[in-house]
């Protein structure tokens, strides 16, 4: 009788294992398959390029007056230039939004690395590009007009306007004569709140993106020697001709 009970007991154990073990293995395998996926979703870092694309909203650049199109185009050109290794100073990008009037603070200097807006201030356009608005652009020497497009900042020097920074225009036929035209960033008395109050808008340069005397040195010191500088124009002629903006 005792032997019979033991046989029944062993049979019950075997039957129990046959029924439950497949489910246990299946659950274990399912856990192994899903755990890495969950872990990957939690720990995967957000790419820096994607983070930079969110800077327009996170820095509230719309409230500060930068057009979304100017930002998107600037980011596109910056990424292309960076990928080609053409930026010796890729940690900062400067946008002059010339779709805005000069009495607005339309110059934006953004720290790409820390995603901070470093400067938002006034910038002048060329005398023959328009009064309040820059509507006419040229690459021609002695035109006294601004040239739209992408530049790479170069070295500095002390000239008749004091501390100044050279700009290398890199869009052929659009701004590539900037060096020959001596298009530079420099300071000017006509870039100030006082000048705007007296005249309704900033004074105008001979084509240079001039800034105030107070911010000239700190801005140049931050963006000199190989950073991306973008003068945005919403004029269809520029947007159509720019190879950087139309790159796939």
pLDDT category at 30 given cuts 50, 70, 90 is: very low
The CA R_g of the chain, rounded to the nearest whole Å, is 30
Q: How are the residues of the chain apportioned to helix, strand and coil, as percentages rounded to the nearest 5?
A: 35, 20, 45
pLDDT category at 83 given cuts 50, 70, 90 is: very high
Across 51-59, average pLDDT = 89
Give per-residue pLDDT as tens, 161-176. 999 999 999 999 999 9
Q: 15-19, 102-106, 120-124, 126-130: lowest mean pLDDT where?
A: 15-19
Task: Output the pLDDT for position 29.
Answer: 44
Taking the CA atoms of residue 96, residue 74, residue 175 and residue 177 in that order, the dihedral angle to the nearest 10 degrees is 90
pLDDT category at 51 given cuts 50, 70, 90 is: confident
Domain boundaries 48-241, CATH class? mainly beta
CA distance 67 to 229: 16
pLDDT category at 218 given cuts 50, 70, 90 is: very high
Neighbouring CB atoms inside 10 A of 10's CB total 10
Task: Output the pLDDT for position 52.
Answer: 83
Across 82-93, average pLDDT = 97
CA distance 127 to 14: 95
CA distance 191 to 214: 10
Across 90-118, average pLDDT = 97
Task: Output the pLDDT for position 13.
Answer: 53
Total number of residues shown for the chain:
248
Task: Output the pLDDT for position 71.
Answer: 97
Give per-residue pLDDT as tens, 35-49. 333 333 323 334 455
The DSSP secondary structure of 164-200, one letter per residue, reads: EEEEEE-STTTTTTTTTTT-EE-B-TTSSHHHHHHHS
Spans of all domains in the chain: 1-44, 48-241
**pLDDT > 80? residue 70:** yes
**pLDDT > 60? residue 20:** no
Across 137-147, average pLDDT = 98
The residues, ordered by sequence, that sit 6+ positions from 185 with a Cβ below 8 Å of its Cβ are 153, 164, 165, 167, 208, 209, 210, 211, 216, 219, 220
HEC assignment per residue over 78-140: HHHHHHCCCCCCCCEEEEEECCCCCCCCCEEEEECCCCEEEEEECCCCEHHHCCCCCCCCCCC
- Give Dmax over CA atoms of the chain in angstroms: 117
CA distance 152 to 75: 14
Average pLDDT, the chain: 86
């Amino acid at each position: 009788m005792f032997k019979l009970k033991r046989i029944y007991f062993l049979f019950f154990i075997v039957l129990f294992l046959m029924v439950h073990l497949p489910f246990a293995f299946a659950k274990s395998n399912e856990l192994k398959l899903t755990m890495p996926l969950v872990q990957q979703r939690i720990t995967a870092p957000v790419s820096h390029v994607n983070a930079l694309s969110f800077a327009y909203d996170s820095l509230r650049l719309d409230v500060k007056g930068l057009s979304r199109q100017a930002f998107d185009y600037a980011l596109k050109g910056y990424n292309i230039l960076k990928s080609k290794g053409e930026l010796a100073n890729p940690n900062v990008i400067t946008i002059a939004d010339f779709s805005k009037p000069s009495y607005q603070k339309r110059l934006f200097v953004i720290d790409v690395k820390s995603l901070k807006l470093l400067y938002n201030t006034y910038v002048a356009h060329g005398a023959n590009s328009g009064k309040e608005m820059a509507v006419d652009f040229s690459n021609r020497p002695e035109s006294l007009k601004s040239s739209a497009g992408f530049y790479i900042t170069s070295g500095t020097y002390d000239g008749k306007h004091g501390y100044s920074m050279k700009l290398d225009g890199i869009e052929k036929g659009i701004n590539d004569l900037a060096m020959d035209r001596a298009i530079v960033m420099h300071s000017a008395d006509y870039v100030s709140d006082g000048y705007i109050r007296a005249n309704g808008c900033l004074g105008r340069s001979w084509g240079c993106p001039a800034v105030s005397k107070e911010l000239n040195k700190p801005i140049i010191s931050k963006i000199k020697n190989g950073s991306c500088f973008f003068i945005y124009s919403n004029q269809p002629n520029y947007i159509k001709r720019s190879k950087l903006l139309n790159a796939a």
